[in-house]
Amino acid sequence: MPLLRLLFLIIGLSIILGLIIWLINSIYHLYIQVSFTAPLLGKLLIFLIIGLLGLLIYAFIYYFNLAVSGKFFFTRRQERSRPKLPEQKTEAAHETLKAVRRQVQQIQDKVTQKALLSRSLQIETSLAKGDLKVVVFGTGSAGKTSLVNALIGEMVGNVEATLGTTKMGETYSLKLSGVSRDILITDTPGILEVGVEGTEREQLARKLATEADLLLFVVDNDLRQSEYYPLQTLVNIGKRSLLILNKIDLYPKEELTLLMKQLQQRVKVLISPLDIIAVAAKPQSFLLETKEIIEPKPEIIPLIKRLAVVLRAEGEDLIADNILLQSQRLGEEARKMINSQRRQQADKIIDRYRWIGAGVISVTPLPVVDMLAMAAVNAQMVIEIGQIYGCELNSDRGKELALSLGKTLVSLGIVKGALDLLSKALQLNITTYLVGKAIQGVTAAYLTRIAGKSFVEYFRHDQDWGDGGITEVVQRQFELSRKNEFVQRFVNDAIANVVEPLTSTWEEDEKKFTITSGKQEATLEEDDW
């Protein structure tokens, strides 16, 4: 306990003790005088005095603590009330980056793997450094570079109102009173420019905007639909945004008031009215009667004030939000690449099994349609697809899944539908005789593909068929597989993998039959002779 506080406490307690002794003596004499004539009234008086005395002592202790240690308690309360959200988000970002690195190890493409690891390190560096990234975004003629120039107090590029001025994302450092972190202002290329180069610059601008902690969306007129969509997209992914109306020196006061109201109404679901700021980053010069040219100073004080308010109050949250968003987006990108890789591996397995099954059934046609459906869902194929998705299945489980899907194919009429569909498609390409020999094998290959694709969806969703169950998944794959463009490609592949081998076999059998028949005829002639 501090010495001064201890001294005050001793003095206070000494005074209270002296007062208590004096009061006790006074109360005693008063009680003797009153109780002599009215004993009950004397007792009530004693209780009242004791209660008042206790209240006085409590008040003294309460206000003494408040006065002496108020600053200490206020500080502790303030520290406890500081938002823990940035810390939680930062921790979540760290965990996401760890998960991303584990995922990246599964990617077989070494170039992609290296690129994703590099980006994860960049995010981690940003997390450690913690600069506030402010990105200036908008059309090429809205005056973005002029605005950056006015903010940092020096020329940063050509500020003429022509499209395509800023070709690369240029970043400048800015210090703001009351904000401890460095502020990095990035001037992006303009959006909505024509041509290939304009499209490339817009893609760069959008990429930089998605990496911003705070976005300054600059316009010089009412917000067009083509400008509204990019702003809406960025706000919806969590980008804190200020809408900056530039070049207000070009508008009369009444027209400017009306324009501000229109902007507020147009973006009311996206941006608060407090975050819509009117500025003149580079007011037009004018000529006096004395022929003197006056260059007005930029009118950006409202923007600087709003920046200061937002960055001081929300800076830590903005950094944490952005880092978490970047790490989550990187994780999502890694997941998409892994899913794409797994799909390619699964397609190879499906392709292998469908043509193996087709060849076997073409050589030995099945008499029962149900058996054809069962042939389309090979249990070993199910097990191998499951392994790709990290699901280890035993033989019994593979057979169980295959049987379940086979029954679904039959019950939905997909087997019969596939037979009819492929019979018509094959008749347009090969002879009737070969259709009869090939149809079951080709259909088996077709059904195997539907089954395999259905199992890919099952394993991709952690061994879950979804709300619609196995029926909905199988029906969706059948609908995708009956599209004309797919059927045509499939028939072409089937001719190459099933029909042509059958044709070769048929021709060889016919040749052997002809040779055998010729020998038999020659033998008969010799016997007759």
Q: What is the DSSP string of 472-494?
A: HHHHHHHHHHTSHHHHHHHHHHH
> Does residue 377 form part of some domain?
yes
Q: Are residues 158 and 280 in the same domain?
A: yes
Q: Are residues 165 and 30 in the same domain?
A: no
pLDDT tens figures, 262-308 = 999 999 999 999 999 999 999 988 777 777 788 888 999 999 999 99
Which pLDDT value is given to residue 422? 82
Using CA atoms, how far apart are residues 426 and 358, in angstroms rounded to an integer? 15
CATH number where 137 lies: 3.40.50.300
Q: Are residues 191 and 72 in the same domain?
A: no
Q: Are residues 490 and 372 in the same domain?
A: yes
Rounded to an integer, the average pLDDT of 64-93 is 51
Q: Which of 324, 336, 280, 334 minimizes the C-alpha distance to 159? A: 280
Q: How far does CA 241 lie from the centroid of its chain?
A: 18
The contacts of residue 414 (CB under 8 Å, 6+ apart) are 447, 450, 474, 475, 478
> Does residue 22 form part of some domain?
yes
Contacts of 398-401 spanning 24+ positions with Cβ under 8 A: 401/455, 401/458
Q: Are residues 58 and 142 in the same domain?
A: no
Q: What's the chain's Rg over C-alpha atoms?
A: 41
Whole-Å CA distances, 376 to 80, 282, 368, 469, 512:
64, 72, 13, 20, 33
Kindly tell me if the per-residue pLDDT of 254 is higher than 90: yes
Helix (H, G, I), strand (E, B) or coil at 324: helix
Q: Are residues 519 and 383 in the same domain?
A: yes
Per-residue pLDDT band at 475 (split at 50, 70, 90): very high
Using CA atoms, how far apart are residues 170 and 331, in angstroms rounded to an integer? 27
> Does residue 529 form part of some domain?
no
Alpha helices of 161-294 — where are they, by DSSP H?
Answer: 195-210, 225-236, 253-266
> Does residue 346 form part of some domain?
no
- Cα torsion angle, 388, 394, 397, 403, sign: positive
- Cα torsion angle, 464, 466, 467, 471, sign: negative
Number of Cβ within 10 Å of residue 186's Cβ equals: 21
Q: How far does CA 273 lie from the centroid of its chain?
A: 27
> Does residue 114 form part of some domain?
no
Of the residues 81, 110, 145, which one is the last residue of a structural domain? 81
> Does residue 340 form part of some domain?
no
Which pLDDT value is given to residue 516? 44
Q: Are residues 142 and 248 in the same domain?
A: yes
Q: How many separate helices (H) and strands (E) can be counted in the chain?
A: 17, 8
Q: Are residues 142 and 259 in the same domain?
A: yes
Contacts of 512-520 spanning 24+ positions with Cβ under 8 A: none
pLDDT tens figures, 96-114 = 888 888 888 888 888 888 8
Per-residue pLDDT band at 252 (split at 50, 70, 90): very high
Contacts of 7-15 spanning 24+ positions with Cβ under 8 A: 8/64, 8/68, 9/64, 12/60, 12/64
Q: How many domains does the chain contain in total?
A: 3
Whole-Å CA distances, 286 to 9, 248, 294, 296:
72, 15, 5, 8
Kindly tell me if the per-residue pLDDT of 361 is higher than 80: no
Edge-to-edge strands, sheet with 240-245: 170-174, 183-187, 132-138, 214-219, 240-245, 276-278
Are the C-beta atoms of 143 and 178 separated by less than 8 Å?
A: no
Kindly tell me if the per-residue pLDDT of 413 is higher than 70: yes
> Does residue 108 form part of some domain?
no
Of 506 and 354, the one with more pLDDT: 354
Which pLDDT value is given to residue 517? 44
Q: Are residues 256 and 386 in the same domain?
A: no
Per-residue pLDDT band at 77 (split at 50, 70, 90): very low
Task: Supply φ then ψ for residue 224, to 5 degrees.
Answer: -80, 160
Q: Are residues 275 and 142 in the same domain?
A: yes
pLDDT tens figures, 139-182 = 888 889 889 888 887 435 444 434 444 555 678 888 887 788 88
Which pLDDT value is given to residue 524? 40
pLDDT tens figures, 183-242 = 889 988 888 777 777 888 888 888 888 888 999 999 999 998 889 999 999 999 889 999
Write down the mean pLDDT value for the chain: 78
Which pLDDT value is given to residue 477? 92
Query: Bridge-partner residues for 174, per DSSP?
Result: 183
Which pLDDT value is given to residue 109? 82
Number of Cβ within 10 Å of residue 361's Cβ equals: 23
Q: Are residues 215 and 274 in the same domain?
A: yes
Per-residue pLDDT band at 82 (split at 50, 70, 90): very low
> Does residue 512 form part of some domain?
yes
Q: Are residues 48 and 177 in the same domain?
A: no
Are the C-beta atoms of 500 and 358 separated by less than 8 Å?
A: no
Of the residues 288, 317, 351, which one is the last residue of a structural domain? 288
The contacts of residue 23 (CB under 8 Å, 6+ apart) are 49, 53
Domain carrying residue 223 = 131-288
Per-residue pLDDT band at 426 (split at 50, 70, 90): confident
Q: Which residue has the tokens 């970002």?
A: 93
How large a percentage of the chain has pLDDT more than 70?
A: 76
Of the residues 288, 317, 341, which one is the last residue of a structural domain? 288
